[in-house]
Amino acid sequence: MSFTPPSDPRKPKNVKVSQLCELCHARKALIKRPKNLQKVCKLCFFHVFETEIHNTIVCNKLFENGEKVAVGASGGKDSTVLAYLLKLLNERHGYGIEIVLLSIDEGIVGYRDDSLATVKRNKEQYNLPLAIVSYRELYDWTMDEIVACAGVRNSCTYCGVFRRQALDRGAAKLGIKHVVTGHNADDMAETVLMNILRGDVARLEKSTAIMTQSSGSPIKRSKPFKYAYQKEIVLYAHYKKLDYFSTECTYAPEAFRGTARELMKNLEALRPSCIIDIIYSGESLRLRPKKAKRAPPVNHIEIRSDGSVSLPPQGFVDGNRCERCGYLSSNTICKACMLLEGLQQNRAKMSIDHDTSVNGAARLTRTLEKLTF
Amino acid sequence: MVNVKVEFLGGLDVIFEKQRTHKLSVPSKDGDEVSVGTLIDYIVENMIKNTSDKDVFIENNTVRPGILTLINDTDWELEGEKDYILEDGDIVSFTSTLHGG
């Protein structure tokens, strides 16, 4: 697959005064900015869009001089524009950061292999180093295998949990303490909306933070596109003719998020500022401080899904580590290890044509597959 | 009758036989002027092979929210949307913003 840039239209002949850019008053306006309905031309749009991202970065003190930063690169529009812009702004404003592209290979044939090809082209186009970590090397399972074992319906649960860890581990491997992701304003608003609809109060407060860092974790995450509209990101990529990958994941997208997204898009059509307004509402929400959690009794025993038991060595505090892999977790075993255990023991749904009646059959099959004589 | 170039970007090409660029000669419905509205009707009637794919492109008789429509690289909101009268050589692009990033 190669990249074909969008076509350039021929030069417009005559421009009416009412069609002029509201910033430079010299060129024809091409865009109506969803944020404030201002009509701007291509060059002014580049300028305001880049400046706004720069301001977000500076005001929130996202970067430190000399910092090494990993861009979570999927090959999609957001991360492609992010990588391009960070390189541009870093050179223009002298942030003094070192940028590395970090991609996760979930192992989805027909989707991720194509998008990784895009990231590899981006590596050449922007002259940035690229590192790829795969689910296969981290967890010994690819997403295709997980779906074959656990069914399509749960795919996003597995993939989401694993990817979050994979980005951290990939960054740790490269000695990087800061991962930036291309989450945009639409994503943020969507998340706020979803947390409200689900009544997930605990996540609601945290979900709008531009930078997150758990105590005890050496890796922080930030979202420089927090206030950037998806529409503007796509337009920026279009006008700059950036090479990005755009295909929906092979496995069904998360149904609930899809519905929330549709609702957002319909709201945006009626009132474009609502995206930024929802983020603002999310930011302004202050929850009443919770009463201190009752600590489990001193001789509390946790019973795991496989029947084994553990005595928690310390209280449930932020910064706990998983007993198995050492990753940050609020429980004794992290979510990823729990899911992996379920997979290996074949507790998850599996088709009948593979004989799975024996406990641990999946793991055994996988071990046998690798045997050579 | 008007000759225009139509582009389906951002993953929309999947419902148009994976072809991003199409050169079209759109016949006028009545009189000689062809509007973007007529072009959209023409696309829906003649170019979407699979009927169930129509909902991907169209909703409530207009381009679905989340699909960006540009006429000669200008947001169609600034050109009168469906009422814009096409001229020979115009480029109309439809870009989906709905897929993941």
The partner residue sitting opposite A7, judged by closest CB among B66, B68, B91, is: B91
The closest of A6, A24, A2, A48 to A238, measured between CA atoms, is: A6
Query: pLDDT tens digits, residue range A111-124?
Result: 888 889 999 999 99
The partner residue sitting opposite A32, judged by closest CB among B9, B78, B100, is: B78
Q: Distance, in angstroms, between A55 CA and closest chain B CA?
A: 22
The partner residue sitting opposite A78, judged by closest CB among B72, B78, B101, is: B101
What gap in Å lies between CA A50 and CA A44, rounded to an integer? 10
Q: Could you tell me if A270 lies within 8 Å of chain B, comparing CB atoms?
A: no
User: Is the pLDDT reported for residue A11 higher than 70?
Assistant: no
B93 vs A6: CB contact, 8 Å cut-off?
yes
What gap in Å lies between CA A342 and CA A316, rounded to an integer? 23
Flag whether A74 is marked binding: yes
Site from A233, A244, A246 to mutate, B interface, most B CB atoms within 10 angstroms: A246
8 A C-beta contact, residue A147 and residue A155: yes
**Dihedral, CA of residue A239, residue A244, residue A246 and residue A250, to nearest 10:** -170
Domain count, chain B: 1
Q: Could you tell me if A182 lies within 8 Å of chain B, comparing CB atoms?
A: yes
User: Is the pLDDT reported for residue A348 higher than 90?
Assistant: no
Quick one: average pLDDT of A15-39? 90
Residue A353 binned pLDDT confidence (cut-offs 50, 70, 90): very low
Structural domain contains residue B44 = yes
Structure tokens given for A217: 């974790």
B5 vs A28: CB contact, 8 Å cut-off?
no
Q: What is the CATH number of the domain that holds B42?
A: 3.10.20.30
Q: Could you tell me if B78 lies within 8 Å of chain A, comparing CB atoms?
A: yes
Query: pLDDT tens digits, residue range A212-225?
Result: 876 667 889 999 99
Structure tokens given for A325: 């892999």
Structural domain contains residue B101 = no
Flag whether A306 is marked binding: no
User: Is the pLDDT reported for residue A107 higher than 60?
Assistant: yes
What gap in Å lies between CA B96 and CA B101, rounded to an integer? 12
Tell me which CATH code domain A53-284 carries. Answer: 3.40.50.620
A59-66 contacts at long range (C-beta below 8 A, 24 or more positions apart): A60/A210, A60/A211, A60/A222, A62/A180, A62/A210, A62/A211, A62/A222, A62/A224, A63/A95, A63/A96, A63/A97, A63/A178, A64/A97, A65/A95, A65/A96, A65/A97, A66/A96, A66/A97, A66/A98
- Can you give the residue ranges of every domain in chain A? 53-284
Q: Which residues of B touch A36 (CB under 8 A)?
A: none
Structure tokens given for A286: 């202050």
Q: Distance, in angstroms, between B22 CA and closest chain A CA?
A: 11
B78 vs A29: CB contact, 8 Å cut-off?
yes
Place of tokens 């008007």: B2
Residue A362 binned pLDDT confidence (cut-offs 50, 70, 90): low
A247 vs B10: CB contact, 8 Å cut-off?
no
Q: Distance, in angstroms, between B47 CA and closest chain A CA?
A: 20
A230 vs B97: CB contact, 8 Å cut-off?
yes
Cβ atoms within 10 Å, residue A255: 10
Structural domain contains residue B20 = yes
Q: Which residues of B touch A243 (CB under 8 A)?
A: none
pTM over 0.95: no
| DSSP assignments along A29-54, one per residue | --EE-TTT--EE-HHHHHHHHHHHHH
Q: Who's near A68: CB < 8 A, 6+ residues apart?
A: A97, A98, A100, A174, A175, A176, A177, A178
∠ CA(A96), CA(A97), CA(A102), 5° rounding? 165
Query: pLDDT tens digits, residue range A130-174?
Result: 999 998 888 888 888 888 887 777 787 888 888 888 888 899 889
Q: Who's near A104: CB < 8 A, 6+ residues apart?
A: A72, A74, A132, A133, A134, A135, A163, A166, A167, A170
Q: Distance, in angstroms, between B72 CA and closest chain A CA?
A: 5
**Residue numbers of the domain that contains B75:** 2-96
pLDDT of residue A322: 80
Query: pLDDT tens digits, residue range A262-296?
Result: 888 888 888 999 999 999 999 888 877 777 666 66
Per-residue confidence of chain B (101 residues) as pLDDT tens digits?
Answer: 889 999 998 888 888 888 889 998 888 877 778 899 999 999 998 888 888 888 888 888 888 888 899 999 999 999 888 889 998 899 999 998 876 55
The partner residue sitting opposite A249, judged by closest CB among B5, B7, B100, is: B100
pLDDT of residue A316: 47
pLDDT of residue A138: 86
Nearest CA in chain B to A237: B10
Q: Distance, in angstroms, between B10 CA and closest chain A CA?
A: 5
